[in-house]
Amino acid sequence: MKATRRIQRRANMEAVLRAAMAKPHTLSQLASKTGITRPATESVVQDLTKLGWIGPTSAPKDTPTLGRPASYFGLSKKAGLVGALDIGAHHISAALAELSGDVIAEKTGPADEGTPIRERVDLAVRLLQNLLPPRANLRICVVGAPGIHNRGKVVYFGGSGMPGLQGFELASAVKDELSVPVLTAGDCHLGARAESWRGAASGIDQVVFILAGKRTGAASVINGRVHEGQSGAAGLIGELDCLGWRTLEEETFASALYPGHAPSRDELFPLAANGDETALQAVDLYAKVLARGTAAMILALGPQAVVIGGQYSNYADLFLPTLRCELGKFCPFMPQILPSTLGEKAVLVGGIRHALDAVFDKISDHVRNSDFFPAASQVLDAED
């Protein structure tokens, strides 16, 4: 019986912590939201305050000010921050967020496709370090980069540029410089998680994400989490030549319309946006090729929504009608087809969510399997 009570106590602490992190609450509000008695809530709040998770804070801005002000409890600055890095072929971005998920700082800089991965990592880490406030407690960092990631290593990269990326121990390299736990994930996977959290598919648990950028890729969120598959390789459908996705990356999908030299997609989409008839036909061809792999993902996974992300999602209004029409020919059960609302920030946002998932997964693990509730400063001590 005592063991059961201890587990219940830790479960109560997790419930109160999650509520207080979302936004500041009074003791009565926390008790009501979690279903815990008010005296028990007060005791839990005291414990969480001692552990550095929450503390007294100001009331939310929309709180009425009539009468004596109540005491509010929310996320403590001692709880620390999470970081996210997006190491792309042509850019490097960094962001910092509180454990509530609120971003407090972010910055992006250009990168050359030919820059070796080791130099990219150094640039990315410096970018993040320059964002850190004095005496900040960074708890974890998530790094997004192209390719298939397994246990912090880029085990496969089918694109061009970014010398040294395939086979690179990315988590180890970043951890050596930041001295905090580091997780890595493919940019496509993080884009999927971002769009299902705070993007076009917010609140939807079954989501397919299609990366429509220089590279074309796919990833999925199942039951609110990225489906990684064996060795992190889920969604690698572009390897099927019969789908034609390589012709998108090789810029040959519209060659029949341009006998001499077909324009790149960077040139093609602006032309189409300005009403060029041949470019509009080429964009239709682009949509039809994109639909093949998208249909394969829909038929295999049965998602509620498909989000089109990547840089060319900025031109989604040009190709979504054809894409939806083509998908309707293959898919008897059509999901919503949505353009990204996060754009180029998707990988960073997904990295932040992935970091928060790691923190709360560790807390939940302590609730189930430990005889104590971790302090904020110790929650990820055992992470690799």
Domain identity same for 65 and 177: no
Domain shared by 73 and 85, yes or no? no
Task: State which of 78, 97, 116 marks the end of a domain.
Answer: 78
Crossing angle of helices 38-50 and 27-34, in 10° steps, is 110
Confidence band for 60, pLDDT divided at 50, 70 and 90: confident
Pair (219, 327) in one structural domain: yes
* Domain identity same for 227 and 305: yes
Asked whether residue 146 falls in the same domain as residue 181, the answer is yes
pLDDT at 384: 45
Domain assignment present for 177: yes
183: β partners:
142
Mark whether 164 and 264 lie in a shared domain: no
Q: Residues of the chain with pLDDT > 90: what percent?
A: 90
Q: At what angle do helices 277-301 and 265-273 cross, to 10 degrees?
A: 110
Helices 2-22 + 346-369 axis angle, to 10:
160
CATH code for the domain in which residue 307 is found: 3.30.420.40
Please state, as a whole number, how many other Cβ atoms lie within 10 Å of the Cβ of residue 133: 11
Residue-range definition of the domain harbouring residue 95:
80-192+345-358
What's the pLDDT band for 62 if we cut at 50, 70, 90? confident
Q: In this structure, are residues 83 and 94 in contact, taking their beta carbons and an 8 Å threshold?
A: yes
What residues form DSSP beta bridges with 184?
143
Residues constituting the chain: 384
What's the CA angle centered on 323, arms 321 and 329, to 5 degrees?
A: 110
Q: Is the pLDDT of residue 170 over 60?
A: yes
Asked whether residue 56 is assigned to any structural domain, the reply reads yes
- At residue 2 the predicted structure's pLDDT band, cuts being 50, 70 and 90, is very low
- Considering the entire predicted model, what is its pTM? 0.93
Are the beta carbons of 72 and 25 closer than 8 angstroms? yes
Residue 380 has what pLDDT? Answer: 87
- Note whether 255 and 298 are same-domain residues: yes
Q: Does residue 128 have a pLDDT over 70?
A: yes
116 and 63 in a common domain: no
Residue 188's pLDDT is 96
In a domain, 365, yes or no: no
| Residue 1 pLDDT | 31
Query: 24 in a domain, yes or no?
Result: yes
pLDDT digits (tens, 9 = 90+) for 191-245: 999 999 999 999 999 999 999 999 999 999 999 999 999 999 999 999 999 999 9
Greater confidence (382 vs 111) lies with 111
Q: Is residue 285 part of a domain?
A: yes
Are 119 and 87 contained in the same domain?
Answer: yes
Contact present, 146 and 159 (Cβ < 8 Å): yes
| DSSP alpha helix (H) spans, the chain | 2-22, 27-34, 38-50, 117-131, 170-178, 187-198, 245-249, 265-273, 277-301, 316-330, 346-369
- For residues 126 and 379, which has the higher predicted lDDT (pLDDT)? 126
pLDDT digits (tens, 9 = 90+) for 240-271: 999 999 999 999 999 999 988 899 999 999 99
Together in a domain, 118 and 143: yes
Residues 237 and 329 both lie in one domain: yes
- Confidence band (pLDDT; 50, 70, 90) for 5? low
User: Looking up tokens 């341009």, which residue turns up?
Assistant: 258
- Please indicate, yes or no, if residue 274 is contained in any of the structural domains: yes
Number of domains forming the structure of the chain: 3
145: β partners: 186
Assess if residue 377 is contained within a domain. Answer: no
Q: Are residues 331 and 222 in the same domain?
A: yes
Confirm whether 367 is domain-assigned: no
Query: Could you tell me the CATH number of the domain that includes residue 46?
Result: 1.10.10.10
